[in-house]
Amino acid sequence: MQHVLSIRNFILPVIALLALTACGGKKGELRIKGEIQGLNHADLVIYSRDGVFLGIDTLHVRQGLIDWSCPCNKEHGTITIVYPTYSTLTVFGGSGDVIKIDGEAKQLNATAVYGTPENEAYTALRKQLREVPTAASRDSLTKAFISANPESPLSRFLQIENLSVQKPVALRNGESLPDFTLVTRKGDTITTDSLRGKYTMIAFWANWKGDATNVNGRIRRLRHQVGEHFQFISYNMDVNKTILEYVERTDTITWHSYADCQVFQSPLASRLGICDIPYVVLADTACRIIATGKDWRKDIAPDLETIIASLKKDTP
């Protein structure tokens, strides 16, 4: 077993670092600054699931440099930054913190984060995890960190993100949808078993990704063609339900609509390995996967046309 990281191993380096950067932070504000070399111009999605700040914002990268701030009255919490590749970076911070990011576009998973003990510890832990060859070893290392630092906010985060989330399944045609339960925004309960008997389409989308909203229009038109033979689930990936309520009204989403404001960490999305949107999963009447993909015309439409032709043939 490799050396288990402990928060106290980082206290002195963090104090020294904070002393050097103390001129930045002020109460009521959270600031993130730094550099991602090679990422010259990008607009990254940034959000907080636990209320460090509300809604979705944009973190601008210009000539590789980052300097973002927001009003913040919460002392501690997590912030998620979504890269152009749709991989994510978790940052810990709160009121008065100045977080420093240091990375390279060619190796985003190695981006270092400084500014609080949790960020220092997580950066060091992620480095160790990258050097461990097997998933089982990485899981053991994560559990060892949690055991050594039971009261750390980082440990609580790791327990949720790394230990309780089910592993992604491979979306292969012919395989069954995983067992799941969703409570829709209207209060209806959907389970895998309840979907049997009709074709099912699950569409992952969000307002913050421009072309992702188009899938709702496609579903609206498709419903007129397939009638009661299909059931649809619009699986929203926003973090602000106010935005979703507006889109539901303007796009007339009258079918099943689900949202839990967890974006790519949403349980079903995480289990299915969804890391980009729009993304559509199409299953048959036995909940076996028929088609999946981002490109409606290439990935979904051919199988839909076959199903629709079959339904028309069977209709007296």
Q: What is the pLDDT of residues 196-236, one digit of tens each?
A: 999 999 999 887 776 777 888 899 999 888 888 999 999 98
Q: Could you identify the residue written with the tokens 């190796």?
A: 107
Residue 14 banded pLDDT, cuts 50, 70, 90: very low
Question: pLDDT at position 12, please?
Answer: 44
pLDDT single digits (tens) 43-93? 998 988 777 887 778 899 999 999 999 999 888 889 989 888 778 899 999
Residues 6+ apart with CB under 8 A from 91: 32, 78, 79, 80, 81, 99, 101, 113, 119
**Per-residue pLDDT at 163 exceeds 90:** no
pLDDT at 155 over 70: yes
Q: Which residue has the higher pLDDT, 230 or 150?
A: 230
pTM of the entire structure? 0.55
Give me the pLDDT at residue 161, please: 65
**Where, residue-wise, is CATH 2.60.40.1120 in the chain?**
7-163
CA distance 61 to 133: 33
Distance from C-alpha of 313 to C-alpha of 120, rounded to nearest angstrom:
63
Class of domain 7-163: mainly beta
Rg (C-alpha) for the chain, rounded Å, is 22
Among residues of the chain, what percentage have pLDDT more than 70? 86
CATH for 181-314 is 3.40.30.10
Where do the CATH 3.40.30.10 domains begin and end in the chain? 181-314
Residue 264 confidence class, pLDDT cut points 50, 70, 90: confident
Q: Which helix (H) or strand (E) holds 313?
A: helix 301-314
Measured CA angle at 209 (ends 204, 213), to 5 deg? 55
Task: Give the chain's end-to-end CA distance (angstroms, integer).
Answer: 68
Q: Which residues make Cβ contacts (< 8 Å) with residue 75, sequence separation at least 6?
A: 94, 95
Diameter of the chain measured on Cα atoms: 79
- pLDDT for res 233: 94
